[in-house]
Amino acid sequence: MATKTVTANSAPKAIGPYSQAVKNGSWIFISGCLPADPVTGELAGGDIRTQTQRVLQNMQEILKTAKTDFKHVIKTTVFLTNLSDFADMNEVYSKFFQDPFPARSTVQVAALPKGALVEIEAIARK
C-alpha cells in the first residue's frame, strides 16, 4: 500500500519537513496540531481553552480532507506545557469526541513550537 500525503488547505501548513497527515490504506496518521490560525499562522489566544478549540478545529479540517471525522479517531496524544491545564483542555476536548472515546495519552512537555500551550496528534481509521 502506498502512503499518501493529506494536506488540508483550511488548516495551518506544516512548519517543518513533515506532512499534516499521511494515509496508508484505511489508516490516517495526523501530525501534532498546533493552535495556529490557518490564515495568519499566529497562535490563537493565550489560554488553554481557546488554544485547544483551535487545535481541534484544525484537526477537524485535516480529518475532513481525509474524508473522515472524529468518530473514526482511535488514539490521540495530548501534549501540554502545564498539566494543571488538564481539566480545561479536557472540557473542550470532550465537545469534539463522543462515546466510544478514543484511547488517549496526555503528557506534560517542557515546551511546544511557537510557545503553544497544547498540541494534539491523532490516529484514525476510516
* pTM for this entry: 0.97
Phi-psi domain of 25 (left: phi exceeds 0; alpha: psi -120 through 50; beta: other):
left
Q: What is the rounded CA–CA span in Å between residue 31 and residue 35?
A: 13
Question: Which of the four pLDDT bands, split at 50, 70 and 90, describes residue 1?
Answer: confident
Q: Name the average pLDDT for the chain.
A: 97
CATH number, domain 3-125: 3.30.1330.40
Show me where the domains of the chain are located: 3-125
Q: What is the pLDDT of residue 93?
A: 98
What confidence tier does 65 reach under pLDDT thresholds 50, 70, 90?
very high
